[in-house]
Amino acid sequence: MRNVLDLFRLDGRVALVTGASSGLGVGFAEALAQAGADVVLAARRADRLEETAEAVRALGRRALPVATDVTDPAQCESVVAAAMTEFGRLDILVNNAGVGTAVPATRETPEQFRSVIDLNLNGAYWAAQAAGRAMKPGSSIINVSSILGLTTAELPQAAYSASKAGLIGLTRDLSQQWGARRGIRVNALAPGFFASEMTDQYQEGYLPRMTERIVLKRQGELHEIAAAALWLASDAAGYVTGQVIVVDGGFTTT
């Protein structure tokens, strides 16, 4: 049997992380680099991307920041092409780009709803489509969904919840399409409450109320969700596809 710890290594592999300019995206990029991967970093905020790139390089890995709007299929094709030009391969995609909103359904405009779906769901599909065309057998796609694709948490988040539930359906379908035929595993992460720009926008008192619903009675720490992504990206999860891995401290069990 192979050394189990070696299964988590990503030496010689190349990962693309979308939404890599802040929050969970930075954590995913750093975790993949720590495991040995070179990382392509995609987000709309080019200035913030360079900060993530420096963090990856400080870990001894190569980083390629590419300003990318994933709602544009052509830009998704371009960032994948940049990865292939720079590194000659693409083994891992972490579909992390997304936005959260909280708007009552009776007041949400069509533009507001569509913008969330366009980034969180459509953007993930365009990125996966572009990556899937370039990936070889043994590659891994990780779609970052949310527990709000599985349950509710008081706030009026129809667009966000719909986009994250749709991402779970997309994950299952792509895993079927690309499993045996292309050798690409496709899974989803469903994070609970982790500190991010999104949680910074919550009203006072909301997070303490939600924390009471968490079995472990605390928010998650960045390394805990990053470790789950690393597992899905690596050979340690080589027999895992089409799954939703919930990392929420037990929130969805209550």
* Relative orientation angle of helices 158-182 and 123-134, to the nearest 10 degrees: 10
- Could you tell me the sign of the dihedral formed by the alpha carbons of 133, 25, 240, 252, in that order? negative
Chain Cα centroid distance, residue 38:
17
Of 160, 202, 206, 239, the active-site residue reads: 160
Compute the half-sphere exposure of residue 182: CA atoms within 13 Å on the CB side of its CA: 20
* The two structure tokens encoding residue 92: 């891992």
Tokens representing residue 180 in the block: 């045996």
Q: Is 160 a catalytic residue?
A: yes
- How far from each other are the two terminal CA atoms of the chain, in whole angstroms? 38
Angle among Cα 136, 139, 144 to the nearest 5 degrees reads 140
43: helix, coil or strand? strand
Q: Residue 54 belongs to what H/E stretch?
A: helix 46-58
CA distance 199 to 184: 32
Tokens of 141: 């796609």
DSSP letters, 67-134, are E--TTSHHHHHHHHHHHHHHHS---EEEE---------TTT--HHHHHHHHIIIIIHHHHHHHHHHHH
Question: Looking at the annotation, which residues are catalytic?
Answer: 160
